[in-house]
Structure 1
Amino acid sequence: MSDSASTDIYQAPALREWLEPLCLQGSVNLAFDAAGSAFWPVLLDDVLHPQSLVVDVTTAPALAEPLTRGDPFHLIGHVRGALVRTSALTMIQRLDDTPRIKFLCSYPEFVSTLHRRGTFRAPLRPEMGVETRLTLAADLPVIEADVRNLSLGGCLLAMRLVDAVKLAPSQAFSVLELIFPNQRYLELKGRVRHIRTDDDWTMALVGCEFDELSIDSERFLWYCVKEIEREGVRRASASDQPLEPSALFRFPQGRRPSSARSAVTADNVAAGDAGAIVRRLRKIADYLNAQSLQLQNGTVIAPSLLSRHADTLLTLGSQSRESLLYALGYLESEPAAVRHALSVAVRAADLARSQGYDNDSLKAIVASALVHDLGKASLPSSLLESRAPLSDSQRALLPGHVTQISERLAECRWLSPAIASPVIEQVNERLDGSGYPHGLRGDAIDDLGRMLAVVDVIDALTRPRADRKAWPLVDAYRHLLSQPEVFDNVWVQRYVRLFGIAPVGSLVRYASGALAWVQRLDAQGRPSQVHLVLNAHSRHGRLDRILAGQDLEQLGRLSGVVEPTDYGLSRVAA
């Protein structure tokens, strides 16, 4: 197939939709029908549907003679990336009631549109109803998205940031399905070209390149591109005689487009009082996903956004620390790295607040903790997902992510280096010198760096990883307390006293078999309010009760924290 494609348009409504833009932009070219004719710049002054056109040739007065003689000519211009050429036209009469040189000309029988196949992209909007599903590999879940534009060579997808962080430039995908309202569909293969965020940092925009297509597939794809363009013209038209919908965009009887696309707008918010906090946490999670993509594209940390989200977390923590800690459990759909960043930031601020740190310092701690691990997105996935102990060459790559974040914080002038440096650069240091990036020992590690190391490691150990299951919290405590030469025991003990052995947000089991989410703790760090959800002896009977104070006695003795997945439970369903 050639690199360009021409389409002749005869229908009156469609003709009007191509001629009016030529009139609005004014400037067009005039060429006579004779072979090798030169192009003359003129103005399309008016379109009188469907009888005639008004052409102004004042800038090229030499055209008056051949037009008066009746020589046939064409008008040529550009509309929405296509070269538009009218059928042969002739002069009807010269308009003498104007100081300019204007001619009334015949109305075109048709117009020809010429697109460059490899570069023309037809824009789509979500309301057009084209469903889009991206499958990276057969054993991976389908990613739902919106297609923003389509061409013969590729497309631009809009998707949730949480889905985009799973992608990487040059990554191949198994199939991209485009399902049109009339249920015809395209299946395309290719690879990811680039990943970025939209201007509001609320969605990811993913550019895709298609593999080489068969002749039949290429023809159908080009047909779809042209029909999308036609549908865009139809929807944008304010004419009293609109175009008929393209066959691709006619919904089967009884079926209508959804008013909300689940791919991009779904927001399963937790019920109850936690809902408002969860929604605000998800906005911060969106920011972290977007910032991670921005960093991969070479940009710096956005100072104003980081400041705003740090303020949000501080406000939520000061208003109700237990509600905030509980709401963290509703973020299971977010990437593990984002959940870790939020958890470390919230708990580090809570721990520092308990030790009397002022608000300015708390804000800097939160901000630094939020971004401390974002540089890991630049590390090889094989290193982050390794199931075997890291080799020396792999370990040598780890300091790079710390350096990257420190450098990208250059624009955050409001962020105190006295706080940011120990939080970001010392969170991975260890008292015995076994940490990175500098292998600091003992007193060379700041008190904040020691605190962050404790918070970071406890959270990391109690989350599942590629090479192991999540550790029970008590085991994580014992691990740190048993290594005073590695971790600061003072901060470990402060952590245990503040968060307890059954922290807010954890799932606990009682002697009666009752399973409940911990919502509040008493002064001794024991659960004082729980959300009862299940009896382990009768898993088919789900429960939904809030118990507090003396009512907890009916549950029996507290057995300890348990893993929700062992009982098929999730906080999303709580």
Structure 2
Amino acid sequence: MSDSASTDIHQAKAKWEWLEPLWLQGGVDLAFNHAGGSSWPVLLDDVTVDEALVIDVSAVPALADPLARGDQFHLFGHVTGALVRTSALTVIERLEDASRIRFRCLYPEYLSTIHRRGTFRAPLRAEMGVITRLALSEEGPAVGVDLCNLSLGGCLLAMRLADAVALTSDQPIFSLALHFPNQQRLELKGYVRHIRTNDEWTRALVGCEFDDLPIDSERLLWFCVKEIEREGARRALSSEKPLEPSGLFLTPEGRRPSQPVSGGATEKPAALVGNAVARQLQRIADYLIAQSLQLQNGGTISPTLLSRHADTIVALGLQGREPLLYALGCLDAQPAPVQHALAVAIRAVDLARQQGLDNETLKAIAACAMVHDLGKASLPVDLLESRAALTEAQRALLPGHVHRISERVADCRWLSPDIAAQVIGQVNERLDGSGYPLGLHGGAIGDLGRMVAVVDVIDALTRASADRAAWPLVEAYRHVLGDATAFDNVWARRYVRLFGVTPVGSLVRYASGALAWVQRLDAQARPSQVHMVLNANSPRRRLDLVLAQRDLDQLGRLEGVAQPEVYGLSLANSASRSPRHP
């Protein structure tokens, strides 16, 4: 594709739609055919459609003589990023006017519009009704995105932060499908060129570059770019003769889309409706994804945002630890690393609070735990997704993610360096020296480092990874309690006593077949309030019952924790149906 693209416009209505913005803005440039590239600013004073133009050259009186003798000239100007140039014109007559120098000229036979591929972007708005779907592979799902702008060479997409986590620079795009209201469809291929966040850190902005296209597809892309630009100009201008709407943005029945279209980048998960704590955790989850994208693209940790979200975690725990732990389960649609980061932060703060630590220390623990794994985005994908035991060469790369985050949080002046060194630097250390990044032994690992190591490994083991299925919680407990050479036994026992074998937010099964989400625990860490959602003996009948201690006996003996996916259940969906939360 050339660096610029030019289109000649002959149709009368289309010519007027490009001329009108020039007339409204008034100023254009005039150049003679023989002037060697020189041009002069003049005023496009009036337009009689399909008949004549009137130009005012009073600012450059020297133009009067060549115009009067019939020298050919062009007018040109810019309309929303495009250079618009008339065909060759000549003067019909000089108008009588004592104070101004004005000429009536021929109406242009055609107009040329020229765009530079590298600089021009046609911006879209939601009300244009363009539905955009992005697929990274032939087998993978297509996700809804918002098309921010379109050019001959590429585009800018806005998408949900959670959908952008898996993207990398130079990643191939299998399909970017644009569906216009008139049922025109344009499918493009290309590569991801950059990923960043918007100013509010609420959406990911993804720059894409297109592959070279066949000539027919290139022409269609160019047509769409021009129509998007013209539709934008039509809505921006106010005139007694408004531009006609582009047919590209009208339905086959000739109507505009009934409501603005979003590809999904701005949609909020319906499952969080009605749960105020879960909505606050959703905002922290969005921050963590955005912060990860910032780091991947050379950015830094935001001290202000990290401080704000750490304060939120501490405050939510003070308001009620069980609603906070329950809300954690409502984030099951978030990327696994984000779920892990929040779970470690919330449970570590909860565990530390039980030992009487002050709020400033709890805030620092929350902040460090939230970001402790963000440096893993810099590790090779094959290392993170390896299904086999890591090689020595791969293991040698692991300490890099700890050093990366440790360096970044050093810019957070409010954060205690000692707490950061323990929570971030020692979370992967083991008492027997088998951990990383420094292979510390026993007494060299601080008390907070020992605590967060227990919290981190229990949560990690109970989540599926590339090389194994999720462990049952009881098995994870046995692992840390039974390996006192690697994990601090005091903190392991404190953890089990506090959260129990049926923790808040887990799905439990009773002898009657009842399946319920645990909302509260009693002093012995046994369920004292549950939200019953299903009876396994009647799986087609969904239930919505919140039962307290005195009602639990009717459910029969507690059999233990059940796997939600086996029954097609999700805590987020269950919580959204019921307004009653712990």
TM-based fold match above 0.5: yes
SS of the counterpart of 2:265? helix
Residue 320 of structure 1 corresponds to 320
Give the whole-Å Cα distance in 1 for the aligned partners of 2:25 and 2:409: 46
Report the AA paired with residue 450 of structure 1. Answer: R
Name which of structure 1's ranges 424-433 and 233-242 shifts more when overlaid on structure 2.
233-242
Residue 40 (structure 2) pairs with residue 41 (structure 1): yes
Paired residue secondary structure (1:263): coil
**Cα shift readout 1:301-323 (whole Å, capped 9, x = no counterpart):** 01111111111112211111111
Structure 1 pair 9–485 and aligned structure 2 pair: CA distance change class (3 A): same
Q: Contact 1:95–1:104 at 8 Å: present in 2 too?
A: no
Measured at CA, do residues 17 and 303 of structure 1 come closer, stay the same or move farther in structure 2, by a change above 3 Å?
A: farther
| Residue 562 (structure 1) shift | 1.6
Q: Kindly tell me: are residues 16 and 280 of structure 1, through their superposed partners in 2, closer, same or farther at Cα, counting changes over 3 Å?
A: farther
- Contact (CA 8 Å) 2:373, 2:401: kept in 1 or not? yes
State the Cα deviation string for residues 104-161 of structure 1 (Å, max 9, x = none): 4437434321223465332212221111111111221211101111222221111111
Distance 1:95 1:547, change over 3 A: farther
Given that residues 189 and 210 in structure 2 are in contact (C-alpha distance below 8 angstroms), is that contact kept between their aligned partners in structure 1?
Answer: yes
Residue 115 of structure 1 corresponds to 115
- The 3-state SS of whatever aligns with 2:425 is helix
- Residue identity in the other structure for 2:500: G
For 1:69 and 1:299, locate their aligned partners in 2 and report how far apart those are by CA, in whole Å. 63
The AA in structure 2 aligned to 1:124 is L
Alignment-derived partner of residue 341 in structure 2: 341
Counterparts in 2 of 1:336 and 1:175: CA distance versus 1, 3 Å: same
Equivalent in the alignment of 1:252: 252
| Cα contact 1:510–1:558 (8 A) shared by 2 | yes
Alignment of 1:407-556 (within 5 A): 407-556=407-556
Give the Cα–Cα distance (whole angstroms) in 2 for the partners of residues 332 and 523 of structure 1: 28
- Cross-structure match for 1:278: 278
Amino acid at match of 1:544: D
Partner SS for 1:360: helix
Partner of 1:82: 82
Shift of the alpha carbon at 1:16? 5.5
1:39-89 deviation digits (Å, cap 9, x = unpaired): 23324264456564443453x443233234443422223333322212315
2:359 maps to a residue whose letter is: N
Segments of 5+ residues of structure 1 without an aligned counterpart are: none
DSSP-derived class of the 1:212 partner: coil
The equivalent residue for 2:579 is none
Counterpart-to-counterpart distance in 2, 1:209 and 1:479: 49
- Range 183-192 or range 321-330, more displaced: 183-192
- The separation in 1 between residues aligned to 2:263 and 2:158, in whole angstroms, is 12
Measure, in 1, the Cα distance between the counterparts of 2:101 and 2:356: 82
Counterpart amino acid of 1:348?
A
- Between the aligned partners of 1:43 and 1:121, the Cα distance in structure 2 is 28
Amino acid at match of 1:334: Q
Kept after mapping to 1: 8 A contact 2:194/2:206: yes
Distance 1:307 1:25 in 2: 49
Residue 256 to residue 20, structure 1, CA distance change in 2 (3 Å): closer
Q: Which residue of 2 aligns with 1:268?
A: 269
The letter for the 2-side match of 1:263 is G
- Aligned pair in 2 of structure 1 residues 431, 114: CA closer, same or farther (>3 Å)? same
Aligned pair 1:395/2:395, yes or no?
yes
How far apart are 1:535 and its partner, in Å?
1.5
Q: CA deviation at 1:357?
A: 1.0
Partner in structure 1 of residue 559 of structure 2: 559
The Cα of 1:404 is off from its aligned counterpart by: 0.9
| RMSD after superposition | 2.3
Native 8 Å contact 1:133 1:177 kept in 2: yes
Aligned equivalent of 1:166: 166
1:485 CA displacement: 1.0
Which residue matches 2:291?
291
Structure 1 Cα separation of the partners of residues 318 and 44 of structure 2: 66
In the alignment, is the contact (CA less than 8 A) between 2:94 and 2:104 conserved in 1? yes
SS at match of 2:195: strand
CA contact (8 A) 1:564 1:570 kept: yes
Does structure 2 retain, via aligned residues, the 8 Å contact 1:55–1:105? no
Instruction: Using the TM superposition, name which of 477-486 and 555-564 deviates more.
Output: 555-564
- The alpha-carbon deviation at position 8 of structure 1 amounts to 3.5
- CA 136–66 in structure 1, closer or farther in 2 if over 3 Å, else same: same
TM-score, length basis structure 2: 0.92
How far residue 376 of structure 1 moved from its aligned partner, in angstroms, is 0.6
How far does the alpha carbon of each residue in 1:419-457 deviate from its partner, in whole angstroms, 9 at most, with x for none? 112111111111111111111111111111111101111
Q: What is residue 204 of structure 1 aligned with on the other side? A: 204
| Structure 1 residue 560: Cα displacement | 1.1
CA contact (8 A) 1:481 1:489 kept: yes
Aligned residues: 569
Q: Secondary structure at the match of 1:133?
A: strand
Give secondary structure in 2 for the equivalent of 1:357: coil
Partner SS state of residue 487, structure 2: coil
Identity of aligned residues (%): 64
**Residues 416 and 89 of structure 1, relative CA distance in 2, 3 Å threshold:** farther
What is the alpha-carbon distance in structure 2 between the residues aligned to residue 97 and residue 353 of structure 1? Answer: 88
Structure 1 window deviating more from structure 2 (373-382 vs 115-124): it is 115-124
Q: For the residues of structure 1 that align with 2:256 and 2:557, how far apart are their CA atoms?
A: 56
The superposition leaves residues 449-497 of structure 1 with CA deviations (integer Å, 9 ceiling, x where unpaired) of 1111011111101111111111111111110001111001111111111
Which amino acid in structure 1 is aligned with residue 312 of structure 2?
A: T
Is there any run of 5+ residues in structure 2 with no aligned partner, and where? Answer: 575-582
Change (3 A) 1:546 1:3: same
Q: Counterpart of 1:221?
A: 221
Q: Distance in 1 between matches of 2:272 and 2:404?
A: 39
Task: State how far apart, in whole Å, the 2-side matches of 1:244 and 1:477 are.
Answer: 69
The equivalent residue for 2:580 is: none
SS in 2 for 1:496: helix
Which residue does 1:55 correspond to in 2? 56
SS at match of 1:538: coil
Deviations 1:177-198 (A, max 9, x none): 1111111101222221111111
Higher mean C-alpha displacement, 437-446 vs 254-263:
254-263
Tell me, in whole angstroms, the C-alpha distance in 2 between the residues paired with 1:35 and 1:205.
Answer: 47
Match of 2:176 in 1: 176
Q: Distance in 2 between matches of 1:158 and 1:173?
A: 15
Q: Is the contact between residue 27 and residue 43 of structure 2 (CA under 8 Å) also seen in structure 1? A: yes
**What letter corresponds to residue 418 of structure 1 in structure 2?**
D
Could you tell me how far 1:20 is from its partner in structure 2?
5.6
Q: Distance in 2 between matches of 1:271 and 1:77?
A: 51
Q: 1:31–1:520: structure 2 CA closer, same or farther, 3 Å change rule? A: same
Report the alpha carbon displacement of residue 239 of structure 1 after superposing the two structures with TM. Answer: 2.2
In structure 2, what is the equivalent of residue 66 of structure 1? 66
Shift of residue 415, structure 1, vs aligned partner: 1.2
What SS class does the counterpart of residue 508 from structure 1 fall into?
Answer: strand
Structure 2 CA distance for aligned equivalents of residues 145 and 282 of structure 1? 19
Letter in 2 for 1:42: P
Q: Return the alpha-carbon distance in structure 2 between the equivalents of residues 355 and 123 of structure 1.
A: 55
Name which of structure 1's ranges 22-31 and 413-422 shifts more when overlaid on structure 2: 22-31
- Residue 569 (structure 1) aligns with: 569
Q: Contact 1:326 / 1:504 at 8 angstroms: preserved in 2?
A: yes
For residues 350-396 of structure 1, what are the alpha-carbon distances to aligned partners after superposition, in whole Å with 9 as ceiling and x for unaligned?
11111111111111111111111111111111111111111111111
Higher alpha-carbon deviation: 329-338 or 149-158: 149-158
TM-score (norm 1): 0.93
Deviations 1:276-333 (A, max 9, x none): 1111111111111111111011010011111111111122111111111101111111
